[in-house]
Structure 1
Amino acid sequence: MNDGVRFEIDRERRLAVLTLDRPEAGNAVNTAAMESLAAGLAQAKQDPDVRAVILTGAGNRVFVSGGDLKEFHAELKTEAEVYAKMSQMRRVLETLVRFPKPVIAAVNGAARGGGGEVASACHFRVAAETATIGFIQVKLGISPGWGGGALLARIVGRQQALRMILSGDVLDAQAAERIGLFDRVVPAADVLEAAKEFAGTMTANAPQAVQSLLQLMNEGETLPLAEAMERESRLVAALWGSPQHEQAVEAFLNRKGRKE
C-alpha cells in the first residue's frame, strides 16, 4: 500500500494494521489516502487469515487531523464538488462501520475533526493516555462531513454528541473514556500493542461466530426489538452444528467429567 497509507499483516496474530502515514501533513486525509484506505480495507476483508483490523496514525502526536484542507480548498470550488469529495470519504467510513471483522482504532495522538469521525467509525477505540479527540468543525464554520456526527451520537448518546459537535470542545483521553468514546486508555508507548491485545480477545474466538455476531449487532440497531431478538435465536441455531461449537462443548464436558 502506498499514497500515505501503510498496510501490514501480522499473520501470527491474524491482524491487518492500516497506518495513515502522512506525518508531514498531520496525518490528514487527502484523496490518495481515501483511495488507499478503501483498497486496504478491501484487501483485509478478502484475506481469510485476517480476523481483525487496527487503524492508526504514524508517529505519536497525531492519529488523524481531519481532511487535507490544503488540497481540498485548492480543488473544491462548488457545492457539488465538496459533496462528491466528502461522500468519497463517507463511503470509507460506511465500510468501517459495516466491516465484517472487528476494527479497532489505535488512537495514538490527536484526533481532530475528521479524525474524530474516523475513530467513531471503528468498532472500538484504544487510546494513548496523551490522546485527545474533538469534533472541531464548528470552529471552522462547517459541520462534520463524513457522517461521523451521526456515528458519535450512537456511541455516546445524543446529549454528549450534541455538546461536542456544537461546542467543538476537545476532550482528553480520560474524559473520552468516561463517556464511553474510548474503550481503553493506556500509556502512549503501549497503544499499538494494547490495541493488538484488545483485538486478540476477539480473534481468539471462532471467526464465523464473531463475524455473524458483528453483523447481527449492526443490523439489530435498526430493527424492532422482537425481530432483533428473533434473529439471535436463528443465529445460534445456524452456529449450533459448527465444528467450533462441537469441539468447545466436547472440551467443556471432558473437563467437567475429570473434575467429577
Structure 2
Amino acid sequence: MQLYWKLSYGLPAKQLIDSVCGWCLRRNLQIKLVSIIINNNISQNSHHHHRPARKLLNGLHQLNRSQFVIESSIIGLHHRVCRKMSSSSSSSSNYMANVNNNMVNNSNHIHKNGHHNNKSSQLHDDSSTLDNVHIPDDVLTRLPDLSIEHIREQLRQCDPNCNGRLELNMDDSTGIATLCINSPQRKNAFSGFMMAQFSDLLDQLERWKKGQVIIVYGADNFFCSGADLKTIRQNNLSDQCGAYYISQLMHSNLTRLERLPIVSVALIEGKALGGGAEIITACDFRVAIHDARIGFVHARLGVTPGFGGGTRLIRLVGSCTALQLMLSAKLIDAKTANKIGLVQHVLEPGIRGMEALEATKQWYRNEFGSISSFASRAIKSIAATSLCNISTDKALEIEANIFCSVWGREEHMKALASNIKHNG
C-alpha cells in the first residue's frame, strides 16, 4: 500500500502524524511507503526551508504508536532515523513507514496547473495516478495481518498433502546448489505450500557460507507454469485478498533470490509460463535447452504478472520488448530469448534432463569458475546492492567497503605476485 501526502508549508507535524496514524489504524493497515512532499514557495536559499522537515522529524521521534523508518534528503539536510516503539493499537501488527521528505521547487511535480495547494494535508492512495488500479479499502480491512511471516504460514496450509515439493541440494565441496521445482503432475506449478517452502529454503541459502551458485530447474523436462490454479480454486484464493497474499510472498521470495550472496542460474527446459517466466527473471543468468519456450502469458487469463516479473523483465530487455512480450502473451523460443538478452546461453540440441543440469554446471565453471568463492560473493554483493532502493552515493559507499574487504586477502596477494591481471 502506498500513500501520498501533500503537505502545505507550516502544517504542524503533530496534526499530520495523528491524521496518518488514525487513518491507518482505523483500517488496520500496514504502510509500506509514505511519501511526504513539502510544498514550499519559500526561496531555496533561505534557511527557513528546512523548518517543516525538522518539525516532522521531531514529531515522528515522539510518536508512540508504531515503528517508523524515516529518511530525509532535503537540500543540505540529511537524516536517517530508525526507531522501534510499541503499538497502542489493538492490532498486533507493526506498521512501517518509509518517509521521504523532498523539497519540490518546481510545483508542477505536484500540481500540473502550477498552483500550490494551501489547504490542509490531504490523504490519497495511488489510485489518483491510475484511477481504476487500487486495492479497495474493504479488501484490506479483511486482512488480519499483512506480515510476510503470517502470509507464509497461511499459504503453508494450502495443499500440504500434495505431491509438489521443492528439493534443495547444497554441495559444500563444489559450492554448487540445485533447487528442483518438483510437481510434474501440475506442470511444476507452485502450490501455496511450495511458496511457503520456497521461503524456508531461502533462509538456508542466505546462511550458506560455502556457496557460489544455485541452479533452479524443473522436474520432468518442464520448468514451471507459475501458480497452481487448482490450489487457488480449492483454497478460496481467487479474490483480491488471495491475490495479495500470493503476490506478497512471491515478491518477497524472488527479491530474496535475486539478492542472495551467491549467483543464481535458471535452467529452462520445456516451458516457463506465467509465474514460471517471472521466476527466471529473478535469477542472475538464464540457460535454456534448444527447444525451451518462455511465455509471459498472464494476459490470456486477464491478469498481469504478480511475482514482480513485469518490472524485472523491463529491466532485462527494455520496456518496448517487455511490453510486446506481455501484451501479446506469445511464447518465444530459446534462440529468440537469447537474441533479446533474456537468455545468456542455449545448450546444444539433444541435451536435456540431468545431462542439461550437468551442462549448466559446466557452463558456470567455464564462465566464472576461475575466481575464488570470496571474490564471487563480493562481486554478487555489488550487483545485489544496485537492486536495492538506495541512493547512488550509498551504493558507491557499499561498493568501496566491499572492495576494501577483498583487498589484501590471500587470493589477491597471489594474483599480485603472478601478475595475473595481464595474462589474457
TM-score by length of 2: 0.56
Higher relative contact order (Cα pairs below 8 Å, separated by 6+ residues): 1
- Distance in structure 1 (CA, Å) of the matches to 2:170 and 2:406: 28
Partner of 1:199: 364
Q: 5+ unaligned residues in a row in structure 2: which ranges?
A: 1-162
Q: 5+ unaligned residues in a row in structure 1: which ranges?
A: none
- Indicate which of 111, 121, 124 corresponds to 2:282: 121
Q: 1:232 to 1:139 in 2, by over 3 A?
A: same
- Indicate which of 160, 178, 183 corresponds to 2:321: 160
Partner of 1:37: 198
Output aligned runs, 1:90-239, within 5 Å: 90-187=251-348, 188-189=351-352, 190-200=355-365, 201-220=367-386, 232-239=399-406
**Offset from partner CA, 1:52-101 (integer Å, 9 cap, x none):** 101000012x1001110011122214312221122111211111111111
- Indicate which of 235, 241, 245 corresponds to 1:84: 245
**2:231 matches 1:71:** yes
- Indicate which of 203, 219, 241 corresponds to 1:58: 219
Q: 1:86 to 1:224 in 2, by over 3 A?
A: closer
- Distance in structure 2 (CA, Å) of the matches to 1:162 and 1:223: 26
Quote the offset at 1:12 in angstroms: 4.0
State the aligned residue count.
253
- Distance in structure 2 (CA, Å) of the matches to 1:148 and 1:100: 20
- Distance in structure 2 (CA, Å) of the matches to 1:96 and 1:134: 21
Quote the offset at 1:46 in angstroms: 1.8
Partner of 1:240: 407
Quote the offset at 1:219 in angstroms: 2.2
**Offset from partner CA, 1:217-255 (integer Å, 9 cap, x none):** 2323566667656654554333211121112222337x9
Partner of 2:178: 17
Partner of 2:107: none
**3-state SS in 1 of match to 2:262:** coil
**3-state SS in 1 of match to 2:378:** helix
Which has the greater radius of gyration?
2
Instruction: Assess if the C-alpha contact under 8 Å between 1:14 and 1:203 holds in 2.
Output: no
Once structures 1 and 2 are overlaid, which stretch shifts more, 27-36 or 44-53? Answer: 44-53
Instruction: Assess if the C-alpha contact under 8 Å between 2:210 and 2:373 holds in 1.
Output: no
- Distance in structure 2 (CA, Å) of the matches to 1:85 and 1:231: 32
Quote the offset at 1:37 in angstroms: 2.0
Partner of 1:7: 168
Partner of 2:6: none
**3-state SS in 2 of match to 1:241:** coil
One-letter amino acid of the structure 1 residue matched with residue 362 of structure 2? E
- Distance in structure 1 (CA, Å) of the matches to 2:403 and 2:233: 51
Percentage identity across paired residues of the two chains: 31
One-letter amino acid of the structure 1 residue matched with residue 232 of structure 2? F
Instruction: Assess if the C-alpha contact under 8 Å between 2:260 and 2:384 holds in 1.
Output: no
- Distance in structure 1 (CA, Å) of the matches to 2:207 and 2:347: 31
Instruction: Assess if the C-alpha contact under 8 Å between 2:182 and 2:219 holds in 1.
Output: yes
Quote the offset at 1:204 in angstroms: 4.1
**3-state SS in 2 of match to 1:50:** coil
- Distance in structure 2 (CA, Å) of the matches to 1:16 and 1:36: 16
Larger helix proportion of the pair? 1
TM-score by length of 1: 0.88
